[in-house]
């Protein structure tokens, strides 16, 4: 831990000399420099903090545990700085202090570390507000986010454990970084909890009566209650249904739990899930405008989106259209082509149109065909069946079809087969070539 020391203006030159030394040497340099007075204490006059865009100076000062008017040694000061750094919410912690007749003035210089949102997974008996409030009461520097690692996470878990214990549930609360449809989160969950989902009740009629949703709901019912699992189900199974019906702005509120039975008796081991859905308006198709395209004309690109103005804006058809455009570029060797569709909603007319920006990238030609895991006869057959000559424009569709189907046909009649074919494309933007690497396993 780097530290820096400042004295009164009468010793400004000495201050800068000490700061320069600390840039070069570890924090033990400070201990050596002040070895003679390290155990002596001084009255603490003030605590301040600078450098954070997330927390106020007084919040950081409170988190240090230091109090103005109390005595402090330089050993104590170093321990406090180290403790702040181990929290995980700061990427760097340094400090300066100046001594005057009124006491010691300390200034912590910090830099914020990246954090991710905090979520609560399987706490059906508690609201998010209750859980967050428990953490906020125990952790001064809690703003709804948390670092991926750090001692602050253990303090947060302990705060939640104490809260759930007030209702007779004594369990361990664990945490981990997980990936959700909206990004990375720091997820807190109860370990060993056996509450299972009895049923899921959707608030909107489409989800209530759609046969596909009812057929797949078995992925949730009877399984341990997990809000993240329910939200993933909504994203993967329910949301596409709404997009197909042109509810392009559908919103899913966090699922909540409901218990049935006599409230004076112990809670059952099953929970009913309420899943609020706001479908929003159903939109009609207003067309698409293409930008950035030079290889494929706009009129040809329009044909890949099988929607006509005034038709239901089927989100599934839109996604399929974007994929067909990408495939068309891949068939002409533009492997790096990327589409950025931006919707423009006319709420009054319930109509949506898109501006699709295309970054075409370079055109690639066939380079080397690299084969591994084959016998001599197997390699001979694969090379004979390969359909893109060296130097020809690379066709992504031909490549995909060869890996999925052509390799099996090439081995027809041989007494062996390969269960898996690893595939990799090595592009060279400068040379404009792509090497195909196939590993037969």
Q: Please, what is the average pLDDT of the chain?
A: 88
Helix, coil or strand: residue 300: helix
The DSSP letter of residue 310 is T
Q: Summarize the confidence of residues 252-266 as an average pLDDT.
A: 73
CA dihedral 253, 259, 264, 269 (to 10 degrees): -130
Task: Name the pairing type of β-strands 351-359 and 284-291.
Answer: parallel
**pLDDT score of 170:** 87
Q: Summarize the confidence of residues 46-75 as an average pLDDT.
A: 92
Superfamily of domain 9-112: membrane protein fhac (3.10.20.310)
| pLDDT value at 7 more than 50 | no
| pLDDT value at 21 more than 80 | no
pLDDT in tens, 349-389: 999 999 999 999 999 999 999 999 998 989 999 999 999 99
Q: CB–CB of 309/335 below 8 Å?
A: no
Cα of 209 vs its chain's centroid, Å:
32
Tell me the C-alpha distance between 406 and 421, whole Å.
12
Domain 116-190 shares a fold with domain 284-359: yes
pLDDT in tens, 291-314: 999 999 999 999 999 999 999 999
Provide CATH code, domain 116-190. Answer: 3.10.20.310
Query: What pTM did the predictor assign?
Result: 0.77
Tokens matching residue 81: 């700085």
284-359: CATH architecture: Roll (3.10)
Provide CATH code, domain 365-440. Answer: 3.10.20.310
The residues spanned by each domain of the chain are 9-112, 116-190, 199-219+227-278, 284-359, 365-440
Buried b (16+ CB within 10 A) or exposed e, 340-357: ebeeebeeeeebbbbebe
pLDDT in tens, 61-73: 999 999 999 998 8
Task: Give how far Cα 121 sits from Cα of 159, 170, 176, 184, 231, Å.
Answer: 16, 17, 11, 14, 10
Task: Name the pairing type of β-strands 277-278 and 338-346.
Answer: unpaired
């Amino acid at each position: 831990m780097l530290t820096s020391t400042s004295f009164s203006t009468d010793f400004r030159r000495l201050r800068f000399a000490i700061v320069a030394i600390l840039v070069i040497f570890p924090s033990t340099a400070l201990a050596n420099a002040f070895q003679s007075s390290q155990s002596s204490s001084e009255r603490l006059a003030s605590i301040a903090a600078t450098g954070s865009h997330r927390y106020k100076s007084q919040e950081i000062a409170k988190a240090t545990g230091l109090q103005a008017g109390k005595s402090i040694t330089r050993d104590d000061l170093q321990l406090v700085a180290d403790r702040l750094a181990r929290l995980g919410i700061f990427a760097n912690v340094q400090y300066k202090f100046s001594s005057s007749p009124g006491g010691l003035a300390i200034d912590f210089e910090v830099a914020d570390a990246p954090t991710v949102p905090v979520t609560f997974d399987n706490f059906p008996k508690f609201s998010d507000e209750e859980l967050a409030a428990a953490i906020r009461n125990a952790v001064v520097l809690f703003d709804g986010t948390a670092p991926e690692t750090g001692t602050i996470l253990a303090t947060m878990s302990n705060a939640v454990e104490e809260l759930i214990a007030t209702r007779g549930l004594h369990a361990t609360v664990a945490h981990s970084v997980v990936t959700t449809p909206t990004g990375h989160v720091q997820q807190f969950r109860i370990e060993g909890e056996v509450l299972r989902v009895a049923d899921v009740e959707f608030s909107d009629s489409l989800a209530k009566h759609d046969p596909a949703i009812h057929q797949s709901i078995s992925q949730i019912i009877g399984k341990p209650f997990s809000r993240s699992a329910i939200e993933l189900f909504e994203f993967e199974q329910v949301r596409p249904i709404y997009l197909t019906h042109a509810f392009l702005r559908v919103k899913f509120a966090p699922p909540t739990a409901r218990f049935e039975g006599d409230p004076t008796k112990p809670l059952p081991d099953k929970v009913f899930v309420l899943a609020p859905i706001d479908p929003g308006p159903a939109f009609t198709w207003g067309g698409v405008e293409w930008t950035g395209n030079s290889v494929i004309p706009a009129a040809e690109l329009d044909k890949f989106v099988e929607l006509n103005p005034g038709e239901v804006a089927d989100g599934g058809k839109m996604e399929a259209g974007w994929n067909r455009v990408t495939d068309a570029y891949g068939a002409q060797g533009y492997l790096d082509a990327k589409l950025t569709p931006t919707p423009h909603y006319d709420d009054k007319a319930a109509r949506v149109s898109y501006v699709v920006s295309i970054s075409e990238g370079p055109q690639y030609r066939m380079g080397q065909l690299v084969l591994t895991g084959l016998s001599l006869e197997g390699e001979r057959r694969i090379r004979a069946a390969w359909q893109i000559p060296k130097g020809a424009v690379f066709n992504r569709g031909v490549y995909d079809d060869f890996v999925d189907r052509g390799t099996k046909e090439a081995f027809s009649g041989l007494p062996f087969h390969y269960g898996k074919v690893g595939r990799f494309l090595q592009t060279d933007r400068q040379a404009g070539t792509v090497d195909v690497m196939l590993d037969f396993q």
